[in-house]
C-alpha cells in the first residue's frame, strides 16, 4: 500500500500551491528513457544525487530523533516519510495526491519510486506550512535543508530507482550500491551544487532528457 494518509490539520493555499507545483514538475519527467548505442548515461551524477538525498535524509533523521524518547528511533533511516517524522499530521491534500496518481498510472514502474514521490509531495506541503518544527531545523541546515531536491534531480536525469532484495539501491540495470549505516552516509562529501551545469560537468557531457525511443543528445 502507498502511504497516502492525510492529516487532520488545515491546509493553507501556500501548502496546496507547493504540492501542486511539484506535481507539475513531476509530469515533465521522462520515465521510459531508451538510450542509444553510445550509451551516454548520466549515471555518475545520478549516483551522487542519490547519495546526497540519503545524506540529507540522514541529517534530518538524526537531528529529529535526537530529541525523541529512547526507543522511538527507527533503524531504517533511508527512504522514510520525513514529513511524517518532522511534523506528523501535516500532509499534502488528497486532491493533489489523486492528481499524481492519475499521472503515474502506466508511466512509473516501481513502488519505491512512487512512494518517494508521495513523500516529496508531503514534504513540499510541510516546507510551505510555516510549522516551526520544520522551520527551526531548516534554518539551521541552510541551503541543503531540502532532502528531496537531489532525488527529484535524480529522476529528471534518468527516471526511477529500485530496491533489490538485499537492500541495494539500483540506479540502473548495471549500477547500484548499499546505503550503509547512518554515520557512513553523514560522512559523504556534500553535493551543494545541484545545477544542471554542475551535473553535466560531473558526467562529462551535456545531458538532455530524450523522449521515449529517442536517442540521447550530447
C-alpha cell at 172: 540502473
Q: What is the pLDDT of residues 111-147, one digit of tens each?
A: 999 999 999 999 999 999 999 999 999 999 998 999 9
Q: Would you call 177 helix, strand, or coil by DSSP?
A: strand
Burial code (b: 16+ CB inside 10 Å, e: under 16) for 3-27 equals ebeebeeebeeebbebbbebbeebe
Residues sharing a CB contact under 8 Å with residue 207, sequence separation 6 or more, in sequence order: 40, 42, 45, 157, 196, 199, 200, 216, 217, 218
Cα separation, 199 vs 138, whole angstroms: 24
172-189: pLDDT as tens digits? 878 999 888 888 999 999
Residues of the chain with pLDDT > 70, as a percent, come to: 83
The pLDDT, as a whole number, for residue 68 is 61
Query: What was the pLDDT predicted at 78?
Result: 83
Amino acid at each position: 500500500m502507498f502511504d497516502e494518509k492525510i492529516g487532520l490539520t488545515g491546509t493553507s493555499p501556500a501548502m496546496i500551491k507547493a504540492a501542486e507545483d511539484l506535481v507539475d514538475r513531476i509530469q515533465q519527467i521522462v520515465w521510459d528513457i531508451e538510450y542509444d548505442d553510445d550509451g551516454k548515461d548520466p549515471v555518475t551524477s545520478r549516483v551522487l544525487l542519490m547519495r546526497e538525498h540519503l545524506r540529507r535524509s540522514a541529517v534530518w533523521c538524526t537531528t529529529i530523533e535526537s530529541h525523541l524518547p529512547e526507543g522511538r528511533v527507527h533503524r531504517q533511516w533511508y527512504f522514510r516519510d520525513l514529513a511524517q517524522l518532522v511534523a506528523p499530521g501535516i500532509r499534502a491534500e488528497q486532491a493533489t495526491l489523486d492528481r499524481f496518481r492519475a499521472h503515474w498510472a502506466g508511466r512509473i514502474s516501481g513502488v519505491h519510486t512512487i512512494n518517494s514521490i508521495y513523500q516529496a509531495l508531503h514534504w513540499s506541503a510541510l516546507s510551505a506550512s510555516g510549522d516551526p518544527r520544520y522551520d527551526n531545523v531548516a534554518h539551521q541546515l541552510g541551503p541543503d535543508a531540502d532532502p528531496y531536491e537531489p532525488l527529484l534531480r535524480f529522476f529528471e536525469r534518468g527516471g526511477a530507482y529500485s530496491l533489490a532484495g538485499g537492500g541495494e539501491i539500483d540506479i540502473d540495470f548495471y549500477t547500484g550500491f548499499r546505503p550503509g549505516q547512518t554515520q557512513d552516509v553523514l560522512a559523504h562529501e556534500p553535493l551543494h551544487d545541484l545545477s544542471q551545469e554542475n551535473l553535466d560537468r560531473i558526467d562529462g557531457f551535456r545531458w538532455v532528457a530524450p523522449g521515449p525511443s529517442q536517442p540521447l543528445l550530447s
